[in-house]
Structure 1
């Protein structure tokens, strides 16, 4: 293996030729046009109606309109470490390094200033889009034909590869990959997405929440009703596909915030392991799967699914930043899953179940916000990033969350003492332990949250924590015994 000193000597002889470096997909593992578009829509969703008109006037106009309305933080972008190390080596050897990109100059200048690696910046200015042939003309106009080396990654770089003295390919798309193999030029290897990356993109673990769809079936004691079970399975698939589609879109709107989070920065899109266009295609296919699956279910399920899609999209775009409205919406989204199970099976809705669900999931939604407040560093009187809460709200959130949890237990206790239980269960006294079981779960969740030992999603915690699983298992067993025991 070469020492750093020897490597510097190896490139020193090349220093007479500047190294031009592409930005999107090369220096950073993302595309700032797509990122800027979602950042723009997050700030003002109504601008989505202007985007098609800007795009009709060419990519440079679209880039210009987006760039003049938003600011990007260059410190949070997903830089390719392999490329940065190469540029630092070239810089140490005294080579002139040029950032040559189709990104608006406003963004390119900010990135160049942040990194401190570039001697010059060539970028899109006004309506002159610095890509492909335009980039070739700009580089040859300054350094002459074949007077520069170039580092790029995509089909838009093929013309520059051909014009450069030497080409270096990094993380190539299929067009650049074919060119690299044909020419046998240098390839900088970067980490690639795996099936685990796709699973994380879909957030498969979040599908566990859709198990709530089976609750009405279970409480109706239709354990062996195969047609109803089949409809619940279809509803589960439809909701899971819809949820994953919206999670992907939500990730696009939260890219900047996720990169500032200690764990969310590793999400597939925030880290740059997957591209936004790929995510959009996946989201569209998932929505199609959700709709096609829903066609086999009663019309009322369509209404519930549509309500879920509209609400969760609104939550991703704006509601999540609204004080208290966000947690009420989250509680409602959990309850919608219960309604979906009722709609899929044509079972009559239960007032008791819906009332318990609202209070119980409101408590869990408040736990989620409480954990965020505890784990986020923010000054007093300053809102945490992307939310409507401030550090001093912790105690109020905790009190409200425990109060909502106790209210859920009170609703359950009233239900246990109602005539409905005596009519539906052969042994009603077997249902009584449910109240202390739920109370134990709620109090334990809040104690762990105060100890900073709680998962950032309490629903996922319940579904993966063995003690919570034990409480749920005991509760389900009691309900079955109360019905089945003669």
Structure 2
């Protein structure tokens, strides 16, 4: 049989798909109910094929949203003169919908709950079906060497020249499509280092307590900043892993590394706990009390990612609380007293920004012709209410600040507290402008990051810092 008419057998995970169905289904299941993790060891006692069947029977993965390798799809589209077979170790319950969606395969061979069709099992199954050297096989990993030992030809996908050379020792290598996985820049994007801007809030107590020239306080605040950043990045990774399907339906979030398949899911599952533990190690180095605050932040963020972000109003209140916890953490890190005024001001202002985030998501959904924000509990009919509640919260925050100016605490900290009145119109302008920008559809879905990049907001921040320094 010549190469031109040998069946082309294509692996799914890591080859046709820039992801892994086993991890996709596991994460989808844990996203619906994290308690399933306690059943996994019992399923595993009956074998890997049984685990895959249990996962496949409990989840659905929308085939139209999965990240396919366009190079492989192009080969399949242009290969019509010979049979095309989707041959994978993933469970048939999840594989068949993918084959049906693509419409590019004449046959599907997959795990069935009894046999895990991987490595030597797959090679023997294909040899029994098509004969020794009677098929070409497209794969991506070391385990596929056991399949290429039976194949007439090999197409190596998403791996380096080392695997291609190893495959050549078993059969003829017909083509090599190198890996397109991301590198350092992709990891920086996945860790969302730019979101660390939010953690600058831990420095606020350093400024309000007028301890910005105290070296010990600066070191403690800097350690707290890094600890919050690492912990937050760990949660971002976990959130992206649990939100694969909703992210793929979002016009911007579908480009995130795990949703787009540019980073392996397994790597994310390994890195997320490691950097979280690194964050807690830094927190303990700062102080046990600060580590306790960081633990509260982590539990709150994890609760938000797993469930609470889908519950109307609880989500925005929790978001506002998460911003405020950063300020609390900064105060605890430098052993400074917490200011009632600062906490009240931050809670209302950040509630406004949290509502602004939801408002932006809803306007995006409305522009896309959708009735609901993806992965949220709000509908586009809620837009006027979200707008009014959010703007009111922001103005109340400014009111709290105005009351603070004449408080005994302000008179004690500032030599010229009346200068602080200049901040009120500036803050009113900034909050109003943020809402107008969002109303016009010109805002990124994260107001904090938008403010950090927005020239007008940068000027406002500079003016506020200058006025505070003059008032001291």
- The bucket for the TM-score relative to the shorter chain is over 0.9
- Aligned: 1:324 with 2:292: no
Please name the residue that 1:216 is paired with. 205
Quick one: distance in 2 between partners of 1:271 and 1:436? 44
Please name the residue that 2:296 is paired with. 307
> Are the counterparts in 1 of residues 317 and 351 from structure 2 also a CA contact under 8 Å?
yes
Please name the residue that 1:8 is paired with. none
Please name the residue that 2:134 is paired with. 147
1:116-174 per-position Cα deviation (integer Å, ceiling 9, x unaligned): 10000000112211111111121111101110000000122110011100011000279
Structure 2: where are the runs of 5+ without partners?
Answer: none
- Aligned: 1:128 with 2:115: yes
Quick one: distance in 1 between partners of 2:139 and 2:54? 25
1:43-79 per-position Cα deviation (integer Å, ceiling 9, x unaligned): 1122111112112322111101100011110000000
SS of 1:269's equivalent? helix
SS of 2:212's equivalent? coil
Match of 2:7 among 18, 27, 31: 18
> Are the counterparts in 2 of residues 214 and 341 from structure 1 also a CA contact under 8 Å?
yes
Q: For residues 39-438 of structure 1, what are the structure 2 equivalents within 5 Å?
A: 39-91=28-80, 94-172=81-159, 176=163, 179-180=166-167, 185=173, 186-377=175-366, 383-438=372-427
> Are the counterparts in 1 of residues 284 and 290 from structure 2 also a CA contact under 8 Å?
no
1:106 Cα deviation from its structure 2 partner = 1.3
1:297 Cα deviation from its structure 2 partner = 1.4
1:279 Cα deviation from its structure 2 partner = 1.0
1:91-124 per-position Cα deviation (integer Å, ceiling 9, x unaligned): 2xx1110000011111111011100100000001
Quick one: distance in 2 between partners of 1:177 and 1:106? 31
Quick one: distance in 1 between partners of 2:167 and 2:334? 56
SS of 2:259's equivalent? coil
1:190 Cα deviation from its structure 2 partner = 4.4
1:248 Cα deviation from its structure 2 partner = 0.2
Q: For residues 462-477 of structure 1, what are the structure 2 equivalents within 5 Å?
A: 462-477=451-466
Quick one: distance in 1 between partners of 2:370 and 2:452? 35
Q: Number of residues paired by the alignment?
A: 470
1:349-393 per-position Cα deviation (integer Å, ceiling 9, x unaligned): 000000001000000000111111111159999543211111101
1:205-250 per-position Cα deviation (integer Å, ceiling 9, x unaligned): 0001000000001011112000000000000111100000110000
Quick one: distance in 2 between partners of 1:72 and 1:307? 33
1:26-51 per-position Cα deviation (integer Å, ceiling 9, x unaligned): 00100011011111011112211111
Quick one: distance in 2 between partners of 1:476 and 1:449? 25
> Are the counterparts in 1 of residues 3 and 136 from structure 2 also a CA contact under 8 Å?
no
1:329 Cα deviation from its structure 2 partner = 0.6
1:376-434 per-position Cα deviation (integer Å, ceiling 9, x unaligned): 15999954321111110111100100010011011011111212222111111211111
Please name the residue that 1:478 is paired with. 467
Q: For residues 451-470 of structure 1, what are the structure 2 equivalents within 5 Å?
A: 451-470=440-459
1:16 Cα deviation from its structure 2 partner = 2.1
> Are the counterparts in 1 of residues 206 and 212 from structure 2 also a CA contact under 8 Å?
yes
Quick one: distance in 1 between partners of 2:34 and 2:68? 28
Quick one: distance in 2 between partners of 1:202 and 1:48? 24
Quick one: distance in 2 between partners of 1:257 and 1:378? 18
Structure 1: where are the runs of 5+ without partners?
Answer: 1-11
Cα RMSD after superposing both structures: 1.8
**TM-aligned CA distance change 1:174 to 1:63, over 3 Å:** farther
**TM-aligned CA distance change 1:175 to 1:301, over 3 Å:** farther
1:191 Cα deviation from its structure 2 partner = 2.4
1:189 Cα deviation from its structure 2 partner = 3.0
1:328 Cα deviation from its structure 2 partner = 0.6
SS of 1:100's equivalent? strand
Please name the residue that 1:35 is paired with. 24
Quick one: distance in 1 between partners of 2:377 and 2:139? 41
